[in-house]
Amino acid sequence: MELGPGDDAAIVRAPGGRVVATTDLLVEGRHFRRDWSPPYDIGRKAAAQNLADVVAMGARPTALLIGFGAPPGTAVDWVDALCDGLRDECAQVEAGVAGGDIVRAEAVVLAVTALGALDGPAITRSGARPGDVVAVAGRLGHAEAGVELLSAGLREPADLIDAHRRPRPPYATALRAREFGATAMLDVSDGLVQDLGHIAESAGVRIEIDGAAVPVPPVPDGLRLALTGGEDHAFAATFPEGAELPAEWRTIGRVVDGPAEVLVDGRPYRGGGWDHFRLP
Q: Which residues are annotated as a binding site for substrate?
A: 31, 231, 274
CA 113 to chain centre: 14
Alpha helices in 111-204 (DSSP H): 142-151, 158-165, 171-175, 192-203
Label the pairing between strands 60-70 and 133-137: unpaired
Q: Which residues sit in the known binding site?
A: 8, 22-24, 31, 53, 100-101, 125, 187, 189-190, 231, 274
Label the pairing between strands 133-137 and 234-239: antiparallel
Q: Which residues sit in the known binding site for ATP?
A: 100-101, 125, 189
Q: Which residues sit in the known binding site for Mg(2+)?
A: 8, 22-24, 53, 101, 187, 190
> What proportions of the chain, in percent to the nearest 5, are helix, strand and coil?
30, 30, 40
Tell me the β-bridge partners of 24: 112
- The residues, ordered by sequence, that sit 6+ positions from 237 with a Cβ below 8 Å of its Cβ are 123, 134, 135, 136, 137, 174, 177, 182, 183, 184, 185, 186, 249
